[in-house]
Structure 1
Amino acid sequence: MAHNPRLGIWHKTTLQAAKEQDHQQNQQNQQNQNQQQKTYQTTSVAGQKRQLNESSFPPRPLVKRPTPSHQSRELPRLAASRISYAGTSAAASADEISEYSQRRLLAATPSSTIDPLLSLSHPVYGLSDQLVANFSALGIKTIYPWQKQCLLGPGLLRGEKNLVYSAPTGGGKSLVADVLMLKRVLADRDAKALLVLPYVALVQEKVRWLRNIVAGISRKEPGERRPDAPKLWASRADEDTVRVVGFFGGSKIRATWADFDIAVCTIEKANSLVNAAIDDCSVSNLKSVVLDECHMVDDGYRGYLLELLATKLLCLDQEVQIVGMSATLTNISLLKDWLHGHSYETHYRPIPIEEHLVYDGKIYPAGTTASLVKVAATAQRGGGRTTLSSTQVQPLKEISPSAHKEFRDPVVNAVVALANETVRAGYGVLVFSSSRAGCETDALLISQVLPSFSEAEPDVQERRSDLLGDLRSSSTGLDAKLEQTIPVGAGLTTEERELIAGAYDAGVLKVCVATCSLAAGINLPARRVILHNARMGRDLVGPAMLRQMRGRAGRKGKDEVGETYLCCRQADLEAVVDLMHADLPQISSCLISDERRIRRALLEIIAIRLATSREALDDYVGRTMLSFSAEAGSIQENVEESLDELQKMDFITVDQFSNFEATRLGSAIVSSSLDPEDGIFIHSELKKALKAFVLDGEMHVLYNFTPVQDLEGVTVNWRVFWNEMQQLDESGMRVMNFLGLKPFIVDKMLHGGTLKETTAEGKETAWRYHRFYLALQLRDVCNEIPIHRVAQKYDMPRGSVQTLAQTCQGFAAGMIKFCEAMGWGAMAAALDHFSDRLKAGAKADLLALAKITFVKSRTARIFWDNGLKTVAAVANADPSELLPVLMQAQPNKARLEAKDEQKYRDKLLAKARIIADSANRLWQIEMRQEIEEE
Structure 2
Amino acid sequence: MGDQFKPKPSVWRATAPLQSMRQQYQHNGQINSTSNATALVAGRKRAYDAYSSHNPNQTGAATQGRAPPPPPLRPTSVNSKAADEPPRLVASRIEYADGSVVREQPSEYSQRQVFAATPSTVDPLLSLSHPAYGLPTQFVANFAALGIKAIYPWQKQCLRGPGLLNGDRNLVYSAPTGGGKSLVADVLMLKRVLEDRDAKAILVLPYVALVQEKVRWLRNIVSGISRAELEQNEQDEKPGFWAPRADKDTIRVVGFFGGSKIRATWADFDIAVCTMEKANSLVNTAIEDCSISALRAVVLDECHMIDDGYRGYLLELMGTKLLCLGQPVQIIGMSATLTNIELLKNWLQGHSYETHYRPVPIEEHLVYDGKVYAATTTASLLKTVTQLESKSQFSQPRLQPLRIIQSSDTKEFKDPVRNAVVALANETARAGYGVLVFSNSRAGCESDAVLISRVLPTLEEADPFIQEKRLDLLSDLRSLSTGLDPKLEQTLPFGAGLTTEERDLVAKAYDDGALKVCVATCSLAAGINLPARRVILHGARMGRDLVGPAMLRQMRGRAGRKGKDEVGETYLCCRQADLEAVVDLMHSELPEISSCLISDKRRIQRALLEVIAIRLAVTRESLDDYVSKTMLAYSAEPQSIQDHVEASIADLQNMRFIDIDDDGDFQATLLGKAVVASSLDPEDGIFIHNELKKALQAFVLDGDMHVLYNFTPVHDLDGVTVNWKVFWYEMQHLDASGHRVMHFLGLKPFIVDKMLSGGILKESTDKEKEDARRYHRFYLALQLRDLCNEKPIHQVAEKYDMPRGSVQNLAQTCEGFAAGMIKFCETMGWGAMAAALDHFSDRLKAGARSDLLALAKITFVKSRTARIFWDNGLKTVAAVANADPKELLPVLMQAQPNKVKLGAKDEQKFKDKLLAKAKIIADSANRLWQAEMQLEMEEE
| 1:781-796 equivalent positions in 2, closer than 5 A | 781-796=787-802
1:349 maps to a residue whose letter is R
1:7 pairs with 2:15:
no
Deviates more, 1:852-861 or 1:475-484: 475-484
1:335 maps to a residue whose letter is L
Matched residue, 1:914 = 920
SS at match of 2:412: helix
1:79 pairs with 2:95:
no
TM-score (norm 2): 0.89
CA 1:752 to 1:242, structure 2 compared with 1: closer, same or farther past 3 Å? same
| 1:499-518 equivalent positions in 2, closer than 5 A | 499-518=505-524
1:212 pairs with 2:220:
yes
Per-residue CA shift, 1:399-448, capped at 9, x if unaligned? 11122211111111111111111111111001111111111111111111
Cα pair 1:443 1:491 within 8 Å, conserved: no
| 1:403-482 equivalent positions in 2, closer than 5 A | 403-482=409-488
Q: Distance in 2 between matches of 1:525 and 1:493?
A: 17
Matched pairs, number: 874
Cα pair 1:476 1:798 within 8 Å, conserved: no
Distance apart, 1:89 and its partner CA: 11
Distance apart, 1:927 and its partner CA: 1.7
Distance apart, 1:926 and its partner CA: 1.6
Q: Distance in 1 between matches of 2:504 and 2:457?
A: 24
Matched residue, 1:276 = 285
1:273 maps to a residue whose letter is L
Cα pair 2:842 2:853 within 8 Å, conserved: yes
Cα pair 1:252 1:810 within 8 Å, conserved: no
Which of 62, 65, 68 is residue 72 of structure 2 equivalent to?
A: 65
Matched residue, 1:251 = 260
| 1:170-209 equivalent positions in 2, closer than 5 A | 170-209=178-217
Which of 645, 648, 655 is residue 654 of structure 2 equivalent to?
A: 648
1:35 maps to a residue whose letter is Y
Q: Distance in 1 between matches of 2:215 and 2:170?
A: 23
Cα pair 2:77 2:471 within 8 Å, conserved: no
2:71 maps to a residue whose letter is K
Q: Distance in 1 between matches of 2:232 and 2:629?
A: 35
Cα pair 2:481 2:860 within 8 Å, conserved: no
Matched residue, 1:733 = 739
1:312 maps to a residue whose letter is K
2:194 maps to a residue whose letter is L
CA 1:235 to 1:893, structure 2 compared with 1: closer, same or farther past 3 Å? farther
CA 1:206 to 1:109, structure 2 compared with 1: closer, same or farther past 3 Å? closer
Q: Distance in 1 between matches of 2:217 and 2:441?
A: 30
Per-residue CA shift, 1:468-516, capped at 9, x if unaligned? 2333343444343322223xxx745532322221111111110111111
2:268 maps to a residue whose letter is D
1:260 maps to a residue whose letter is F
SS at match of 1:745: helix
CA 1:252 to 1:910, structure 2 compared with 1: closer, same or farther past 3 Å? closer
CA 1:2 to 1:593, structure 2 compared with 1: closer, same or farther past 3 Å? closer
SS at match of 1:318: coil
CA 1:687 to 1:668, structure 2 compared with 1: closer, same or farther past 3 Å? same
SS at match of 1:194: strand
Matched residue, 1:118 = 126
CA 1:87 to 1:560, structure 2 compared with 1: closer, same or farther past 3 Å? same
Distance apart, 1:464 and its partner CA: 1.5
Per-residue CA shift, 1:668-701, capped at 9, x if unaligned? 0001000100000000000110111111110000
| 1:377-388 equivalent positions in 2, closer than 5 A | 377-379=389-391
Cα pair 2:201 2:271 within 8 Å, conserved: yes
2:87 maps to a residue whose letter is P
Cα pair 2:787 2:848 within 8 Å, conserved: yes
Q: Distance in 1 between matches of 2:575 and 2:888?
A: 57
Q: Distance in 2 between matches of 1:389 and 1:411?
A: 27
SS at match of 2:690: helix
Cα pair 2:198 2:294 within 8 Å, conserved: yes
Distance apart, 1:153 and its partner CA: 0.6
| 1:91-130 equivalent positions in 2, closer than 5 A | 111-112=120-121, 114-130=122-138
Matched residue, 1:375 = 387
TM-score (norm 1): 0.89
1:331 pairs with 2:331:
no
Distance apart, 1:39 and its partner CA: 15
Structure 2 residue runs without a partner (length 5+) = 1-16, 26-46, 109-114, 236-242
Cα pair 2:439 2:539 within 8 Å, conserved: yes
2:586 maps to a residue whose letter is M
CA 1:63 to 1:142, structure 2 compared with 1: closer, same or farther past 3 Å? farther
1:302 maps to a residue whose letter is R
Q: Distance in 2 between matches of 1:94 and 1:909?
A: 45
1:299 pairs with 2:308:
yes
Which of 105, 122, 146 is residue 154 of structure 2 equivalent to?
A: 146
Matched residue, 1:360 = 369
Q: Distance in 2 between matches of 1:62 and 1:170?
A: 41
CA 1:308 to 1:573, structure 2 compared with 1: closer, same or farther past 3 Å? same
Deviates more, 1:595-604 or 1:769-778: 769-778
Distance apart, 1:743 and its partner CA: 1.8
Matched residue, 2:497 = 494
Distance apart, 1:723 and its partner CA: 1.4
Distance apart, 1:391 and its partner CA: 2.6
Matched residue, 2:583 = 577
CA 1:70 to 1:758, structure 2 compared with 1: closer, same or farther past 3 Å? closer
Deviates more, 1:919-928 or 1:621-630: 919-928
Matched residue, 1:891 = 897
Cα pair 1:433 1:532 within 8 Å, conserved: yes
| 1:484-563 equivalent positions in 2, closer than 5 A | 484-486=490-492, 491-492=494-495, 494-495=497-498, 496-563=502-569
CA 1:110 to 1:901, structure 2 compared with 1: closer, same or farther past 3 Å? closer
1:513 maps to a residue whose letter is V
Cα pair 1:439 1:492 within 8 Å, conserved: no
Cα pair 1:244 1:260 within 8 Å, conserved: yes
- By relative contact order (CA 8 Å, sep 6+), the higher-ranking structure is 2
2:738 maps to a residue whose letter is G
Q: Distance in 1 between matches of 2:685 and 2:810?
A: 20
Q: Distance in 2 between matches of 1:772 and 1:602?
A: 32
Cα pair 1:837 1:843 within 8 Å, conserved: yes
Cα pair 2:205 2:274 within 8 Å, conserved: yes
Q: Distance in 1 between matches of 2:311 and 2:771?
A: 26
1:287 pairs with 2:296:
yes
Which of 339, 350, 360 is residue 351 of structure 1 equivalent to?
A: 360
Which of 239, 242, 246 is residue 248 of structure 2 equivalent to?
A: 239
CA 1:655 to 1:8, structure 2 compared with 1: closer, same or farther past 3 Å? closer
Q: Distance in 2 between matches of 1:798 and 1:353?
A: 34
Which of 651, 668, 686 is residue 674 of structure 2 equivalent to?
A: 668
Q: Distance in 1 between matches of 2:107 and 2:935?
A: 69
Distance apart, 1:95 and its partner CA: 7.0
Deviates more, 1:594-603 or 1:218-227: 218-227
Which of 813, 818, 823 is residue 817 of structure 1 equivalent to?
A: 823
SS at match of 2:520: strand
Q: Distance in 2 between matches of 1:541 and 1:8?
A: 27
Which of 164, 174, 187 is residue 166 of structure 1 equivalent to?
A: 174
Matched residue, 2:907 = 901
Q: Distance in 1 between matches of 2:69 and 2:689?
A: 64
CA 1:481 to 1:71, structure 2 compared with 1: closer, same or farther past 3 Å? closer
1:131 pairs with 2:147:
no
Distance apart, 1:462 and its partner CA: 2.5
Q: Distance in 2 between matches of 1:493 and 1:667?
A: 35
Q: Distance in 2 between matches of 1:189 and 1:580?
A: 49
CA 1:886 to 1:535, structure 2 compared with 1: closer, same or farther past 3 Å? same
2:772 maps to a residue whose letter is A
CA 1:84 to 1:818, structure 2 compared with 1: closer, same or farther past 3 Å? same
CA 1:344 to 1:411, structure 2 compared with 1: closer, same or farther past 3 Å? same
Distance apart, 1:756 and its partner CA: 2.8
Cα pair 1:293 1:327 within 8 Å, conserved: yes
